[in-house]
Amino acid sequence: MEILAFGVQSDEKPLIEKAFAGKHEVRCLDVFLNRDTAPIAAGYEIISTSVNADLGGAVLQTLAAGGTQLIAQRSTGFNNIDLDVAERLALRVARVSYYSPYSVAEFAWTLAMAVNRRVIRAAGRTRDFDFRLDGLLGRDMHGRTVGVIGTGKIGEAFTRIAHGFGMKLLGWDVAENPACVGLGMRYVDKEQLLAEADLVSLHVPLLPATHHLIDKDALALMKDDAILVNSSRGGLIDTSALVVELRAGRFLGVGLDVYEAEAGLFFLDKSLEGVDDTLARLVTFPNVIVTSHQAYYTEDAVGQIIDATVKNVDDYLAGRRSDNVLVPARPEA
């Protein structure tokens, strides 16, 4: 059987081909799945998609009409998939429920320290042989307070690093993580966390209840010299409200690996095209770093994602169901 994989990065392609070798043929495309590209999947029973795929109702209908029966998404998040439509169309949908939490947690800290220590500005200066220190003043993390919003596997990994820095730990989640409590974390309400934290890092999924979790009111609660990091999902932050606060001179730094309107932008070369006004304004602030949803992008994490995707395909063909299945599309063996 030949499997069609959409949105495959050049680094991923040899890993995907190696993982499927001896089992199935795989056709890797660098284009992302959307309304325009969905017809390419006609005749493919199994397709694999990336995190930025458009799996709304119209695309799902095109896939179902073309004979697709399994969608194996290579990500944990699935806010881009209309699961109700998928179930109605008898499409089976699977995701990757787990991969290295260290990849994202370590990158979140990379963003935090890069804005804290003005690394981008410093590197830009030294390329011009400008070795002044003016404007590069950072601060110690030791002894300061970190607020971790979402203390699941990634949030816990982020917390362990914060503990290593010697920080005071505040957490907010629907349930306490005993491992974080064991590190000395105090769970408080969101408002207290935002008001007291010197660094706030987001590690919750994007759900209706968490959309714009950090809105203008939440931003107003934060310290003027706080650092805000988001390596989870762009829709957690009201970006327009964030721009307003940045224009007012607030925040020591902001590190964003995700953006709420990133679909159709991230993972693509837009250097010769225009982007939306909010993102264009955001990247002009000297205390802001925006990266292109790369926190997960390590050899370890990508390898685990691909291995889980292969297993999802094998489970489908064997009629098995695992925890990765979001929508079952056929009777289980």
pTM: 0.90
Contact 41, 47 (CB under 8 A): yes
Q: What is the pLDDT of residue 333?
A: 39
Q: Are strands 288-290 and 2-5 parallel, antiparallel or unpaired?
A: unpaired
Q: What is the pLDDT of residue 70?
A: 97
Count the Cβ atoms, other than its own, within 10 Å of residue 136.
Answer: 12
Quickly list H helices, 21-143: 57-65, 83-88, 101-116, 119-127
Q: What is the pLDDT of residue 330?
A: 44
Which residue numbers in the chain have pLDDT < 50? 329-333
Catalytic residues: 233, 262, 293
Least Cα distance to 115 among 240, 273, 289, 238 occurs for 289
Q: What is the pLDDT of residue 52?
A: 85
pLDDT tens figures, 3-52: 999 999 999 999 999 999 999 999 999 999 999 999 999 999 999 999 88
Can you tell me the distance from the alpha carbon of 282 to that of 184, in angstroms, rounded to the nearest whole number? 35
Residue type, 167: M
Question: Which residues neighbour 203 within 8 Å (Cβ) at sequence distance 6 or greater?
Answer: 104, 105, 108, 148, 149, 150, 151, 152, 154, 155, 158, 231, 232
